Amino acid sequence: MNRKNIAIMGILLSFIYFFTVIIFVATSSTNWLIIFDIVTMFSGIYYVFLIVVLPFSKDRNKIMAIIFAAALMIITNIAHTINLTSIQNIKNGINIPDYLQIGKNLSFVTSIEYSGWGIFLGLAFLFSSSGIENKQELKPLKITLFTCSCLCIIGFFGWLIINENLWYIASIGYGIGAVIICIELLLMGKTRPEEAKGSKNVRKSSIFLLDGLF
């Protein structure tokens, strides 16, 4: 997979996600809610690709991170499929209980959704952070992944135990955090060719030096 393309895709998807959320909140339109569900389902799938292209140095951590990201993908797609079905039934005049709708108080579907984005994605970020080599150029990415992990997990338990508004902490972790991770991947892609060029120049200089000696 091309790391640069995945990073660009992530930035675009994040902006589409936030745009959809803002329009839905402003209009309360059912059509925009449907679009939001679809965008979120694609976002769950995207995170698996994002985790795969991270520069892991430990295979075990990579496998665990992919497993947790895949769990997020499955859970969020199930939750939003249920929500889309509920929306269609509501549009047809069928009464649907709140526990089968995302965003409703004490909703069973919301609990499934939040566990995916809070716990499973948080663990995927955590294993990704610990699985990346402790090099100077990779430290910003490691710190970002660890921070996103903490935000996702804290947001989930804050929502579960203290107040539902604390879920917005998790939203920062997987929403804004994704943009930062993708930007760091793009910057990392730019610095590596320069490093390769530098090492090539060092090899050339060594060859010329040896020629001069002999």
User: Is the separation of the CB atoms in 6 and 35 below 8 Å?
Assistant: no
* pLDDT for res 205: 41
DSSP conformational letter for 82: H
Write out pLDDT tens, residues 99-147.
788 877 678 899 999 999 999 999 999 999 999 988 889 999 999 999 9
Greater confidence (167 vs 210) lies with 167
User: Is the separation of the CB atoms in 171 and 113 below 8 Å?
Assistant: no
List all residues 6 or more positions away from 47 whose beta carbon is below 8 Å from its beta carbon: 69, 72, 73, 121, 124, 174, 178
* pLDDT for res 190: 66
Name the 3-class secondary structure at 132.
strand
Q: At what angle do helices 59-91 and 108-115 cross, to 10 degrees?
A: 160
What tokens does 203 get? 């090899």
**How much is the CA Rg of the chain, to the nearest whole Å?**
21
- Position 79 pLDDT exceeds 50: yes
Write out pLDDT tens, residues 169-204.
999 999 999 999 999 999 986 655 444 444 444 344
Q: At what angle do helices 177-213 and 3-27 cross, to 10 degrees?
A: 160
Mean pLDDT for all residues in the chain: 87
- Position 96 pLDDT exceeds 90: no
What gap in Å lies between CA 203 and CA 88, rounded to an integer? Answer: 65
Greater confidence (68 vs 191) lies with 68
List all residues 6 or more positions away from 66 whose beta carbon is below 8 Å from its beta carbon: 48, 51, 52, 124
